[in-house]
A and B are shown apart, each in its own frame.
Chain A
Amino acid sequence: MATLNDYLLVSGLLFAMGLAGVVLRRNIIIVFMCLELMLSAANLSLVAFSRFNPAPNGLPDTNGQMLVFFVVTVAAAEVAVGLAIIVALYRARQTIHTDELTSLKG
């Protein structure tokens, strides 16, 4: 039987992978996928807490699961908007490589 710590370890690994991808990868679609990975890591830890922290009646804590649903819906909306932005960006700049997107340089 997996313990809470195992779940949290996997969640932390997922988050670290996501963060590393966001910081290191240059392709903006990959960056975007890594962002999703970080969200999933958060979802996993929420579900794990919910499972291992039951309410007095023995059922899992519904608060954590509610939060996960919200995160999933918001992430879906975010993906739609984010991909649209990437498509628009590509049309404007003919690139999705972050090294070449430096017009905010001061």
Chain B
Amino acid sequence: MNLAWILLFLPLAVAVANQLALKKTGLAPTLSVASALVTFVIAVLLLGENETSHFAWATVGEFSINIGIKLDQLSTGMMIVVTGVGLLVHIFSLAYMKDDAAKARYFTGLSLFMFSMTGIVLADNFIMTFIFWELVGLSSYLLIGHWYEKDTAANAAKKAFLCNRVGDFGFMVGILMLWGITGHLAFDHMQAGLELFQKANPAICGGVLSAAVLCIFCGAVGKSAQLPLHVWLPDAMEGPTPVSALIHAATMVAAGVYMLFRLQLTLGFANFEGLQASQVIAWTGGITSLVAALMATQQDDIKRVLAYSTLSQLGYMVMAVGLNSGEAAMFHLFTHAWFKALLFLGAGAIIYACHHEQDIWKMGGLLKKMPITGITFGIGTAALIAVPYVTSGFYSKEEILSAAYNHDKILFGIAVFVAFLTTFYMTRAFVVTFLGKTRSDQADHAHEVGPLMWLPLIILAGMAIGSAWITGPLCAIDPRTHAQEHAHGHFVILGLSITALVLGLISGFVLYTGKNQDPLSIPLLKNRFYIDGFYDNFIVRYFQDAFASLVAFFDELFIDGLMVGGLSRSAESVGNIFRRVQSGSLQGYAFFFGLGVILVIYFTAF
């Protein structure tokens, strides 16, 4: 158990040391990488442990808020993802951020993120989850805004933080509701509390619980960037690419899914199944996956393509949780983390080699110039589009498709169509970036990146293929057997998903091979369904600005005018009255002095 506490607090200690002492020395990156390595080793050692321990953090009367660690198959498995991808991203960053002036700040941010993410994964109660939930938001803000001199980066950081706050407000309300219903905050006691509540109030239990779950889902909508709060994730690509790989593809955005599944386990599958809320969750996920995949087909920035693809895959996972198949979601989360980190780091290597060119139409022909990056990126693409039997993505996507098939045929249709779109846009990105001839000087001068960069790529490529076979600890969370579900409709699912794959590949290759510009132009998709524009021009202008001017009016009139200004003005006017007494005339003083003496005599004598 002590190991787990080290696992939690080591990254924090490193972040503090980096920030306070090592900023100037150049040791910060090394220390962060070492801490990532140690946490990975600890995570491997802890795999499969089953224990909890906690201490009281704040106690009020009988009630106390605990900081605790809950080790079970879910959390230890998730820690492998967090620390594993984290370690590789740390190593990749050593090379990627080599020439950055603020390396120490960057690595401090990474360590802070590792601490916060570990806290979410290991938390044994909802309050602790919430605290670390906010901390990941903060570290994500710091890392997106790493290049804060750029307006776009600063704005993206702000946008991410605000979107997350909107969701987190619901999350907080949901936690309090759940606490009210069950009387507990710790995961271990919630189910018992829920059953008591169910016995006492059978009539309202379902509705109240649904509302609580939906509020908690708000948190996941913010953090996992589901519709309608998805807008921050593509913008978050302004941050350094390794950060996008770690935070905005593999771990933090998956925290929403993880937390939903933790909720599902905590309440019990049976209690979760009948809720209205689960329908809402499933449809939110499904629609997000569809909309994001559509948007991805028309993006030109390689990181944005990947960002929308992440959105779409997160939509898959959320949908699976909503369909009461959290284990499928976690399986997909696990495999997705590796191959999406691979794709992002590959994109990072390309961007690094092309001197920070991100437009895929200015690349081309990179496979010959950067063979290792090209091949590993290809493997990542294959995993994402779920090439049958050889890639990990295939198995996890099958799980989700079969969950959808068994619960809701419409969602299944959406999921299959998304699979086709995924294949299409990834083929497009791969063909345009790596095949054909080079279309710009930057791409002409590109050459293979150094070993610190390609080594993580190769390891991740291995995981992109192999992670499906070493996920034993993660998929065994739910005792229900997958084989049974697979048997029903297995061939329909397999056939449809392979059809989607082949169609996507063919259309991608036919449309984009040898092209110098996009043959398709769909403004609606290119402009992301105008959702960002709608937020900027409508929500921001009519709600935020109106509210802001109201607040400003109140502030100026009451706070400034009456409270602060009023106090100072009254002090000034009283002072003005009394300064007349200080006339400077000697005789005046003498006169008042005499008057005073006379008054004193009068009052004492008579």
Chain B residues with Cβ under 8 A from A99's Cβ?
585
- A99 and B583 CA atoms in complex are apart in Å by 11
Report the number of A-B residue pairs with Cβ-Cβ less than 8 Å: 37
B6 in the interface (beta carbon within 8 A): no
Contact B594 A23 (CB under 8 A): yes
From B580, B582, B584, B590, give the contact of A23 (CB < 8 A): B590
Contact A98 B587 (CB under 8 A): yes
Nearest CB of A to B575, in Å: 9
CB 8 Å contact bits of B556-594 with A (1 = contact, 0 = none)? 000000000000000000000001111111110011001
- The residue in chain A whose Cβ has the minimal distance to the Cβ of B576 is A106
Nearest CB of B to A49, in Å: 16
Contact A22 B584 (CB under 8 A): no
- Which parts of A78-106 form the interface with B (CB within 8 Å)? 98-99, 101-106
Chain A residues with Cβ under 8 A from B582's Cβ?
104-106
Nearest CB of A to B571, in Å: 15
Contact B581 A23 (CB under 8 A): no
From B580, B584, B591, B594, give the contact of A104 (CB < 8 A): B584
- The residue in chain B whose Cβ has the minimal distance to the Cβ of A24 is B587
- A99 and B584 CA atoms in complex are apart in Å by 9
- A104 and B589 CA atoms in complex are apart in Å by 11
Provide 6 A-B residue pairs closer than 8 Å at the C-beta atoms, listed in order of the A residue.
A22-B594, A23-B590, A23-B591, A23-B594, A98-B586, A106-B584
| B interface list, Cβ under 8 A from A | 579-587, 590-591, 594
- Which parts of A18-41 form the interface with B (CB within 8 Å)? 19, 22-26, 28, 31
Contact A102 B590 (CB under 8 A): no
Nearest CB of B to A72, in Å: 22
Contact A23 B583 (CB under 8 A): no
From B584, B590, B591, give the contact of A105 (CB < 8 A): B584
- A101 and B584 CA atoms in complex are apart in Å by 7
Contact B581 A22 (CB under 8 A): no
Contact B583 A22 (CB under 8 A): no
Contact B594 A19 (CB under 8 A): yes
Contact B587 A102 (CB under 8 A): no
Nearest CB of A to B161, in Å: 52
A23, A24, A25 pick with most chain B CB within 10 angstroms: A23
A99, A103, A106 pick with most chain B CB within 10 angstroms: A106
- A101 and B591 CA atoms in complex are apart in Å by 16
Number of interface residues of A (CB under 8 A): 16
B580, B587, B591 pick with most chain A CB within 10 angstroms: B587
From B579, B580, B587, give the contact of A22 (CB < 8 A): B587
- The residue in chain B whose Cβ has the minimal distance to the Cβ of A38 is B594
Nearest CB of A to B204, in Å: 72
Nearest CB of B to A13, in Å: 16
Nearest CB of B to A96, in Å: 11
- A99 and B587 CA atoms in complex are apart in Å by 9
Contact A23 B585 (CB under 8 A): no
Chain A residues with Cβ under 8 A from B583's Cβ?
102, 105-106
Chain A residues with Cβ under 8 A from B584's Cβ?
101-106
- A43 and B590 CA atoms in complex are apart in Å by 21
Having A101-B584, A105-B582, one finds 11 other A-B pairs with CB under 8 Å, namely: A28-B586, A31-B587, A98-B585, A98-B586, A98-B587, A102-B585, A105-B585, A106-B579, A106-B581, A106-B583, A106-B584
Nearest CB of B to A35, in Å: 9
Nearest CB of B to A77, in Å: 21
Chain A residues with Cβ under 8 A from B586's Cβ?
28, 31, 98, 101
Chain B residues with Cβ under 8 A from A106's Cβ?
579-584
A22, A25, A28 pick with most chain B CB within 10 angstroms: A22
Chain A residues with Cβ under 8 A from B581's Cβ?
106
Contact B587 A23 (CB under 8 A): yes
- The residue in chain A whose Cβ has the minimal distance to the Cβ of B589 is A104
Contact A22 B585 (CB under 8 A): no
Nearest CB of B to A27, in Å: 11
Chain A residues with Cβ under 8 A from B594's Cβ?
19, 22-23
Nearest CB of B to A98, in Å: 4
Chain B residues with Cβ under 8 A from A19's Cβ?
594
The list of the 4 closest CB pairs from A to B, nearest first, reads A105-B584, A106-B582, A102-B584, A106-B579
- The residue in chain A whose Cβ has the minimal distance to the Cβ of B578 is A106
- A26 and B587 CA atoms in complex are apart in Å by 8
Nearest CB of B to A37, in Å: 14
Nearest CB of A to B582, in Å: 3
Nearest CB of A to B516, in Å: 83
Nearest CB of B to A25, in Å: 8
- A43 and B579 CA atoms in complex are apart in Å by 37
Chain A residues with Cβ under 8 A from B579's Cβ?
106
Chain B residues with Cβ under 8 A from A104's Cβ?
582, 584
Nearest CB of B to A105, in Å: 3
- The residue in chain B whose Cβ has the minimal distance to the Cβ of A20 is B594
- Which parts of A45-100 form the interface with B (CB within 8 Å)? 98-99
